[in-house]
Structure 1
Amino acid sequence: MGPVPSAALQLLAMAAVLGLVHRPLGDYMAGVYRSHKHLRVERWAYRCVGADPDRGMRRGAYLRAVLAFSLAGVILLYVLQRLQGVLPGSSGLASVGPAQAFNTAASFVSNTNWQSYAGERTMGAVVQAGGLAVQNFVSAAVGMAVAVALVRGFAASRDDGELGNFWADLVRGTVRILLPMAFAGAILLVATGVIQNFAGVHEVGQFTGGPQQWNGGAVASQEAIKELGTNGGGYFNANSAHPFENPNGLSNLLEIFLILVIPFSLTRTFGTMVGSVRQGYAILAAMAAIWIGFCALMMWTEFHHGGPALQAAGGALEGKETRFGVGGSSLFATSTTLTSTGAVDSFHSSFTGFGGGLTLLGMMLGEVAPGGVGSGLYGMLVLAVIAVFVAGLMVGRTPEYLGRKIGSREIRFAALYILVTPALVLVLTALSTALASPPHSVLNSAATAVSHSHAHAFSEILYAYTSAANNNGSAFAGLNADTDWYNTTLGIAMLLGRFLPMVFVLALAGSLAEQRPVPETAGTLRTHKPLFASLLVGTTVLVSGLTYFPALALGPLAEGLAS
Structure 2
Amino acid sequence: MGILQIAVVLVILVLLVKPVGTYLYDVFSNEANRTDRWFSFIERPIFNLIGLKKRNGMTWKTYALSFIITNIVLVAVSYLLLRVQKFLPLNPNGIERMEETLTFNTVISFMTNTNLQHYAGESGLSYFSQMAVITMMMFTSAATGFSVAIAFIRGITSKGETIGNFFEDFVKAHTRIFFPIAFLIAMLLVALQVPQTLQPTLTVTGVEGAGQQIAIGPVASLESIKHLGTNGGGFFGVNSAHPFENPNALTNVIEILSMWVLSAALPYTYGLFAKNRRQGWVIFSAMMLLFLMFLSLVFVSESNGNPIMNRLGIDASQGSMEGKEVRFGVAQSALFTAVTTAATTGSVNNMHDTLTPLGGITPLALMMLNCVFGGKGVGLVNMLMYAILAVFLAGLMVGRTPEFLGRKIEAREMKLIAVAILAHPFIILVPTALALATEFGKTAITNPSFHGISQVLYEYTSSAANNGSGFEGLGDNTPFWNITTGLVMLFGRYVSMVAMLAVAGSLVRKQWVPETVGTFRTDNRLFAGILVGTVLIIGALTFLPGIALGPIAEHLTIR
* TM-score, length of structure 2 as denominator length: 0.96
Paired residues of 1:388 and 1:399 also in contact (CA < 8 A): yes
Matched, 1:12 2:4: no
Matched, 1:24 2:25: no
Cα offset for 1:94?
0.6
Quick one: which amino acid aligns to residue 155 of structure 1?
Answer: T
- Which of 103, 128, 133 pairs up with 1:126? 128
Instruction: Report the counterpart of residue 71 of structure 1 in structure 2.
Output: 72
Measured in 1, the distance between the counterparts of 2:208 and 2:457 equals 40
- What does the per-residue CA deviation read over 1:296-323, in whole Å, with 9 as the maximum and x for residues that have no partner? 1110011114536356132111000010
Paired residues of 1:102 and 1:491 also in contact (CA < 8 A): yes
Instruction: Report the counterpart of residue 33 of structure 1 in structure 2.
Output: 28
Measured in 2, the distance between the counterparts of 1:423 and 1:479 equals 21
Gap runs ≥5 in structure 1 = 1-5, 437-442
Matched, 1:458 2:453: yes
Instruction: Report the counterpart of residue 377 of structure 2 in structure 1.
Output: 374
| Counterpart mapping for 1:259-338 below 5 A | 259-305=259-305, 307=307, 309-310=309-310, 312-314=315-317, 315-338=319-342
| Counterpart mapping for 1:391-430 below 5 A | 391-430=394-433
Measured in 2, the distance between the counterparts of 1:546 and 1:484 equals 32
Quick one: which amino acid aligns to residue 127 of structure 1?
Answer: S
Instruction: Report the counterpart of residue 384 of structure 1 in structure 2.
Output: 387
Quick one: which amino acid aligns to residue 180 of structure 2?
Answer: P
- What does the per-residue CA deviation read over 1:333-377, in whole Å, with 9 as the maximum and x for residues that have no partner? 0111112100001010100011112211110012x2111111111
| Counterpart mapping for 1:39-78 below 5 A | 39-52=40-53, 54-78=55-79
Matched, 1:492 2:487: yes
Instruction: Report the counterpart of residue 363 of structure 1 in structure 2.
Output: 367
Quick one: which amino acid aligns to residue 51 of structure 1?
Answer: L
Matched, 1:81 2:82: yes
Measured in 2, the distance between the counterparts of 1:220 and 1:271 equals 34
Greater alpha carbon shift after TM alignment, 356-365 vs 311-320: 311-320
Quick one: which amino acid aligns to residue 81 of structure 1?
Answer: L
Paired residues of 2:435 and 2:442 also in contact (CA < 8 A): no
Measured in 2, the distance between the counterparts of 1:472 and 1:208 equals 41
Matched, 1:114 2:116: yes
| Other structure's SS at 2:232 match | coil
Measured in 2, the distance between the counterparts of 1:199 and 1:216 equals 7
Paired residues of 1:219 and 1:245 also in contact (CA < 8 A): yes
Measured in 1, the distance between the counterparts of 2:530 and 2:158 equals 26
Measured in 1, the distance between the counterparts of 2:416 and 2:44 equals 35
Instruction: Report the counterpart of residue 355 of structure 2 in structure 1.
Output: 351
Quick one: which amino acid aligns to residue 199 of structure 1?
Answer: Q
Instruction: Report the counterpart of residue 256 of structure 2 in structure 1.
Output: 256
Cα offset for 1:172?
0.3
Paired residues of 2:436 and 2:442 also in contact (CA < 8 A): no
CA RMSD of aligned residues (A): 1.3
Measured in 2, the distance between the counterparts of 1:343 and 1:119 equals 13
Matched, 1:204 2:204: yes
Cα offset for 1:193?
2.2
Instruction: Report the counterpart of residue 510 of structure 1 in structure 2.
Output: 505
Cα offset for 1:101?
0.6
* TM-score, length of structure 1 as denominator length: 0.95
Measured in 1, the distance between the counterparts of 2:272 and 2:200 equals 47
Measured in 2, the distance between the counterparts of 1:450 and 1:169 equals 43
Paired residues of 2:113 and 2:142 also in contact (CA < 8 A): yes
Paired residues of 1:232 and 1:343 also in contact (CA < 8 A): yes
Instruction: Report the counterpart of residue 432 of structure 1 in structure 2.
Output: 435
Measured in 2, the distance between the counterparts of 1:48 and 1:468 equals 36
- Which of 520, 530, 546 pairs up with 1:535? 530
| Counterpart mapping for 1:179-190 below 5 A | 179-190=179-190
The count of residues paired between Structure 1 and Structure 2 equals 547
- Which of 112, 135, 138 pairs up with 1:136? 138
The alpha-carbon distance between structure 1 residues 293 and 204, as it changes in their structure 2 partners (threshold 3 A), is same
Quick one: which amino acid aligns to residue 101 of structure 1?
Answer: T
Matched, 1:526 2:525: no
Identity %: 42
Measured in 2, the distance between the counterparts of 1:463 and 1:52 equals 46
